[in-house]
Chains A and B, each alone.
Chain A
């Protein structure tokens, strides 16, 4: 088997393992009645703040931002995978195997990017009409691939963070939720980037969500194609950047864990 075929084989099996994990967490009924209800409630919570402010444009701004944020929330959940492996006692085995753990993790959790994009789009297309927001047809279809890019970028960012924190199992939950709220605070989800100090505005541009969300707002507001494509390209570049960093750092961090014995369940 060639190196490429081996890699594809490992990723294929890891992806199937991820899907099996997901089926153990959700049935389609619990996904709809549990997860989707939470997603719609999250978006409605922020849209209602706009209603309380008495400003329809603000309502729509909050609705779009918080719908798309759902793609990031789910993408960042990839951080939980390494902790899951550790709880299951399979992390040392994974690190000891001849294939790279990053290959396994990146493929195993890729369903999260797809699930995130799907959830975000469902939130937008359900909550939007509920709050009286017009979704310009057929232009709104461009939101679909753009949301997928946001989900992918967030997943890449989550995978990078997984490499950083996977030796520190106890802070995993803390990192997942704090990062999620940080993205909500810093990525132009609730207020325009121009409201932030300039340094924060620049910082937010290298985070997932920011550029993709600008592209999506551009589609809904009728911005010119070049601006939309420019922001979409930046979001894709952010995805590539975080995955490159993940690839560069993950194996080194795993080796350090192997040396100091911090990978196993009891550590």
Chain B
């Protein structure tokens, strides 16, 4: 837990010094304007809440991929990986703490899209099921952090992680059903989408903003938690093997 908290505090300091951390917070309001314009211009005000939630989910995916996913690679480039591994603290716990800080930071996008919707179009977030909404946001942040550990472990294996992460953004927005529910996607994609926690989170978020009662709320929240936890365990195991291989082959430094 101490390693987790130390990682959390460290990342908050890094965010203050790194303008790139603000990229998703700069683009989330713009995406909200784009999506709201599309649905309003098409005469579909019933989709306004969905248009506001999509940028929040895109922000979390972005953080998982670009910032958290590149974390170990970045440390490796800056020759920090060796001293980090030499410390007694568990690397996965430090990493999870740092990623959790980023994910909490990303949740600011929720406030941003709320404000932009109000100011630009007078559209507010309809808090039909506030408890479900808050719980969904929290478990989504948790699952995002867990998945990010898996991304970080995989990306450190690639020769050019940035090219890889750039290529994955929109495929994951699509598969994660951030705007268009997985049920509307072509049939052959749906099974893949179902295995991604974000598609469950997106459906729950949309449902929490609509008046009808939410079916199987706690079971669906449980699936999000389960998929996030599985990703974290997978990432942790992968990280262990990757780092052991790097240590054995003397590949911890990039040179």
Contact = CB atoms under 8 A, between A and B. Distances in A.
Interface stretch (B81-89, B91-99, B103-111, B164-172): B164-172
Contacts of B173: 41, 45
B174 A44 contact: yes
B14 interface: no
Interface residues of B, number: 35
A178 B41 contact: no
Contacts of B34: 181, 184-185, 190
A38 to B, nearest CB: 4
A58 B42 CA distance: 8
Interface in B5-61: 18-20, 22-23, 26-27, 30-31, 33-35, 37-39, 41-42, 44, 47
Nearest to B21: A174
Interface stretch (A49-57, A146-154, A245-253): A49-57
Interface in B127-176: 160, 163-164, 166-171, 173-174
A76 to B, nearest CB: 13
A135 B167 CA distance: 27
Contacts of A181: 27, 30-31, 34
A26 interface: yes
A182 B30 contact: yes
B184 interface: yes
B67 to A, nearest CB: 11
Main secondary structure of the interface of B (DSSP, over half): helix
Contacts of B18: 170
B38 A190 contact: yes
B174 A45 contact: yes
A120 to B, nearest CB: 14
A84 to B, nearest CB: 12
Contact of A30 (B35, B38, B41, B163): B163
B184 A53 contact: no
Contacts of A185: 30, 33-34, 37
Given A35-B163, A45-B170, A49-B38, 19 more contacts: A35-B166, A38-B170, A51-B180, A52-B179, A52-B180, A53-B38, A58-B38, A58-B42, A170-B18, A170-B19, A171-B19, A173-B23, A174-B23, A177-B23, A178-B23, A178-B27, A178-B30, A190-B37, A191-B38
